[in-house]
Amino acid sequence: MSVGERYMRLGILRRMPHHPVRVFMNVWSRKVHRWATVATALPLLVVVCSGILLLVKKQVEWIQPPTLATSADGEPALCMSTVLDAVRSDTNAGVETWRDIDRLDMRIRDNVIKVHAKSGWEVQICAITGTLLGSAIRRSDLVESIHDGSWFGSVAKLGIFLPSAVLVLVLWMTGVWLWLIPHINRMWREPAARRRT
């Protein structure tokens, strides 16, 4: 006994091709799928393009500077004032006080402290000696804020990007439904064709 015959016996597929609920679902799914695609096109393009950049951020120095190597050996034992002095010595970052710093990223394995300045620069210093290893513009934070919509402001994030994410979920559901229709039809036709022969 085929799957279609089992469903036919249970009454699940009885008069399925002309069932009003199924006809409504087919028409509704196609309309929602079409209009949701149009509505989400631009936000989805922004999310996909920025997502691709985030996927390769470790491989592309333009997006995120690589962690610089240090030859110093030992335990990290810097005080915070030494970290600030080292960052101040790099004129590119524009750091004068702690208020100019967004966050510190400590890489224990590499003995490196990455200092993220509010200016968008990343300064790397040796966690053991406190020497300046280098600095570069860090664009991955900007790309992340574009990716989640926060760069455009909270109104755009919650008013455009969040509804677009919900619509993408609806697109997935209607797409699965539209994909299932031919399979459901095939399961219905097989038992019906066998009964006629």
Is 0.85 topped by the overall pTM? no
Above 70 in pLDDT, residue 130? yes
**Does 9 share its domain with 48?**
yes
Task: Identify the band that residue 13 occupies on the pLDDT scale cut at 50, 70 and 90.
Answer: very low
Which has the minimum average pLDDT: 8-12, 88-92, 104-108, 166-170?
Answer: 8-12
In a domain? residue 105: yes
Residues forming beta bridges with residue 116, ordered by sequence position = 103, 122
Residue 10 pLDDT > 80, yes or no?
A: no
Render pLDDT for 68-121 as a digit per residue (tens, 0 to 9).
888 777 888 788 999 999 999 998 999 999 999 999 999 988 899 999 999 999
Structural domain boundaries enclosing 42? 3-55+145-196
Output the CA–CA distances (angstroms, integers) from residue 55 to 29, 43, 59, 72, in the order listed: 32, 18, 9, 31
- Domain membership flag for residue 71: no
Higher pLDDT, 11 or 155: 155
Residue 96 is part of a domain; what is its CATH number? 2.40.10
Q: How many domains would you assign to the chain? A: 2
